[in-house]
Structure 1
């Protein structure tokens, strides 16, 4: 990563606890060395030109020829939440303040907008499994299997999670909650809410020594 100028500004521990870590395709750096993948970093902005892009727009901008440009636009999730509402009050409260994580109870329901559920906003190292667990929790909530606690208790839970996030990752890097370091704990909470046993293994030894995975929660409907 140092050789190609890709070293991040944050350390490995923060990357893991903030879900700011990804898996590269096999042979990625081999393709970089042979020139079939060209890495370009921009500190400020980019603009389009007739034959591609100009990085760091201005007199000294670098021109990058490109036939196809793919824009990864899934980052400003808090703004997308705001844009769902017409009411200025709802826009104000749904995403919380800029220096905190987005205030979702169990990462799914806003304490003051309990009629709306958000599935998949929180990050995880295995997002498909996390979204499936959230969807099961929301389905049981809608089905009346359990009730949400009071607004005060939900906001206390959200605040506790926010303190953890600020301690482990820092709000300057990440407003979404990350479940990567506490995935089993999070699933335990969902299981208790749904009336399911959080201990999913068969036997004490398995519970202590076998790793947890998606298959352990497959029977929850």
Structure 2
């Protein structure tokens, strides 16, 4: 691996640079590698790569998938046989090694925050995307405004194509809204979003929570990890319990083994995914999906039976009423950190169900009038990543970021049919977001390289509408653009566009029963 001294980063924008990439996280790095032929400029607002893994993690944050399921197709983990889930520090180290191996530093401008993007005429809303259907037209289409360091001066650069890789998480916290007199202003204690908690050192977090009555609002991965850290800080004499306010229950999983069977058997093989609806499928396949509905329900109930046996969900009132598959299909399944329910059994983590709540002087008040005393309230309420896009995109494009269903309408999870000469990478979720982003960047490189042409705007709109409808029929949480139940089909479509092999295994047995992962998509 190259030393730190050899990491020469970009200091200026070359006139030959035709492509801008905004963001230096996983998607930005994948885009830089795949689009290297266009001498891209990667604008990264912070002093380091890694995105959310560098700037929006707790000390205990780990990946939720095994190492072999979260690696680039052409760059393996050094210790990929290690069964433990990587820490956030290990992930950043892995990404730095990837940047070293492929000399991606030369494309990255650190401390370069994009604050404005202007359209230089464009093609408007036409039959073909960007007017001609061509992503590179030999003339600038966007002007990107960049603020560097602590300077208030904004420097503008012109590009033919822009790739947005700012991510869905971090930077913009989602804050609950309260009626007048019932918000944080009436609370005598401290209110902190999980984003601000991420900025504290380990000693600062322990000092903040030790011997304090803490309420954590939320029940997704960040809330669960935060509650566990709170409980660990309050072990011993004088410790106080952490109370989680749970509005919507989701299924949690202790490991990737269900009744002794590997989890991939249920959702990650071609045969397993044959059971589930795909976007824009034909009449015959729709009929087959309807006939296989009992089998899908049986798989979900089989997993639910294990989780109900393995975890004290009934004891704590945490068993969801919806099927497991709805959480898996919307990428909301969370892997439990070790010791979480052990802390609950010690009464260091408590749970309160609440669809509505507000602040009081001494804590929070639930909808039924119950008051939970608190010195500190954490809002693990998520992020408004799409607001980052809307903040920099000009009208009318900022109003098109989300469709009527609340989803980003992206063809192949990358191209917005109504926003010309721009791509969006990292806004589609799957079991392995790294693989999802890498393959989309390869597909995007094929588009910019002329290996295939996009369909008409109307055809792309119909396609993304079909994806939204398939999601709506699969899960009540359809607003999250998640492809986990049809990820192999999604990859097939991109491989077909590129003229690559669709079936990537060596024989039909492996094709049907072996799990697909990033190594199957190593470039030929």
Q: CA deviation at 1:71?
A: 3.9
The one of 417, 438, 447 equivalent to 1:141 is: 447
Q: CA deviation at 1:114?
A: 3.5
Q: CA deviation at 1:45?
A: 4.3
For 2:27, the equivalent position in structure 1 comes to none
Q: CA deviation at 1:59?
A: 7.4
| Alpha-carbon separation, structure 1, partners of 2:359 and 2:455 | 48
Instruction: Assess, with a 3 A threshold, how the Cα gap between structure 1 residues 59 and 26 changes in structure 2: closer, same or farther.
Output: closer
Answer 1 or 2: which has greater strand percent: 2
| Structure of greater relative contact order (alpha carbons < 8 Å, 6+ residues apart) | 2
SS in structure 2 at match of 1:152: helix
Q: Does 1:62 align with 2:366?
A: no
1:168-183 aligned at under 5 Å gives the runs 168-170=474-476, 173-183=477-487
Q: Does 1:197 align with 2:506?
A: no
* Offset from partner CA, 1:31-51 (integer Å, 9 cap, x none): 21123434445422455979x
Q: CA deviation at 1:106?
A: 0.9
SS in structure 2 at match of 1:117: strand
Number of residue equivalences: 212
SS in structure 1 at match of 2:334: coil
| Alpha-carbon separation, structure 2, partners of 1:47 and 1:139 | 50
| Alpha-carbon separation, structure 1, partners of 2:359 and 2:448 | 46
Runs of 4+ in 1 over 6 A off after TM superposition: none
Deviation larger for 117-126 or 1-10: 1-10
Instruction: Assess, with a 3 A threshold, how the Cα gap between structure 1 residues 71 and 211 changes in structure 2: closer, same or farther.
Output: closer
For 1:82, the equivalent position in structure 2 comes to 390
For 2:409, the equivalent position in structure 1 comes to 103
SS in structure 1 at match of 2:333: coil
For 2:515, the equivalent position in structure 1 comes to 211
* Structure 1, gaps ≥5 residues long: none
Q: CA deviation at 1:16?
A: 2.0
Instruction: Assess, with a 3 A threshold, how the Cα gap between structure 1 residues 9 and 77 changes in structure 2: closer, same or farther.
Output: farther
* Offset from partner CA, 1:154-177 (integer Å, 9 cap, x none): 11111111110111113xx33122
TM-score scaled to structure 2, two decimals?
0.37
TM-score scaled to structure 1, two decimals?
0.81
| Alpha-carbon separation, structure 1, partners of 2:349 and 2:438 | 34
Contact 2:407 2:479 in 1 (8 A): yes
Q: CA deviation at 1:215?
A: 1.3
Q: Decide which structure has the larger Cα Rg and report it.
A: 2
SS in structure 2 at match of 1:212: coil
SS in structure 2 at match of 1:144: coil
For 2:337, the equivalent position in structure 1 comes to 25
* Structure 2, gaps ≥5 residues long: 1-312
